[in-house]
Amino acid sequence: MRHLVFGLVMALLLVVSVATGSGATPFAYLSNTGGMGLFSMSVVALDTSNGNAMPVQIGKTTYGVAIDPKGAKAYVTDFSIPGKLYVIDAAKNQLIGTVLVGSMPYGVTATDSRVYVANVLSNTVSVVDPALIGTAANPVVATLPAGRFPWGVAASPDGGQIYVSNVFGSLVTAIDPVTKVTRQVPSDGGTPSGIVLSPDGARLFVTNFGGTTLWVIDVAKIGTAAAILNRIPVGSQPYDVVLNRDGTRVYVTNSSSNTVSRGQQAYGRGDDF
């Protein structure tokens, strides 16, 4: 097993393009809990030695971060009661909206038409319509049951299935947003936290924070004992997981090891795992 060693593991780190066309600037957004802000650092040409940090003043307990597929907006959860979802203009790094969601929101993910927020204390997922933010209408268009203590959240590109990691329930739950019917991956005795869906929508990658493994889940088999295809050894207390932009690489932050494990997305196997 090979690892990329970081002095400090940033568990909630996403690298995106916040502008389209020529001259687009890559930004990394990371939550800065307790620091009254979200920091955006340019990582142009991966030259981190001259990156500038630009704080966006929002809240004290910012955690989850998601970028819409077009790179136009960043969505940040405030782990509070009542819970808040902050909306940031990614081109200007300015706060442009706040949405009230459930209690203690943590995970967040965005598709072209919806933003999904996992509310840990409410045991729900808030469905937000970005087009309604800033209007007189309530942007929260649905509230979905999500099992006990939903932590991370992922969604199929068309919003047809929502997936959450139930961090204290040792479960991964799939939610049909129309019927609100849920299916679950049988308990594996772990602590699922980070969750990401493969670009083809066929596999989920879920970190087992209570152990040293990354679960690979066949979404078509959720609800059966055969749902977990593989348990890949990574570092100690793997906290979060992301895919690169083309979906070919998976990266796992190991909070206790202070490392990042890297591997190929296809079939849940890789030269670095």
Please choose, from the candidates 144, 161, 150, the residue with its C-alpha nearest in 3D space to the C-alpha of residue 203: 161
Parse the chain into domains and list their residue ranges.
3-268
Averaged pLDDT, 3-19: 35
Phi, psi angles (nearest 5°) of residue 194: -70, 145
CA separation for the pair 244, 192 (Å, rounded): 21
Tell me how far apart the alpha carbons of residues 153 and 172 are, in angstroms, rounded to a whole number: 10
Q: For residues 209 and 211, what is the distance between their CA atoms, to the nearest angstrom?
A: 5
- Residue 176: which of 186, 162, 189 has the closest Cα? 162
CATH among 3.40.50.170, 2.102.10.10, 2.130.10.10, 1.10.275.10 for 3-268: 2.130.10.10
pLDDT band at 21 (very low <50, low <70, confident <90, very high): very low
Residue given tokens 């597929």 in the structure block? 69
Q: What is the pLDDT of residues 229-265, one digit of tens each?
A: 999 999 999 999 999 878 889 999 998 888 989 887 6
pLDDT band per the 50, 70, 90 thresholds, residue 3: very low
pLDDT category of residue 198 using cuts at 50, 70 and 90: very high
Lowest mean pLDDT across 66-75, 99-108, 238-247, 262-271: 262-271
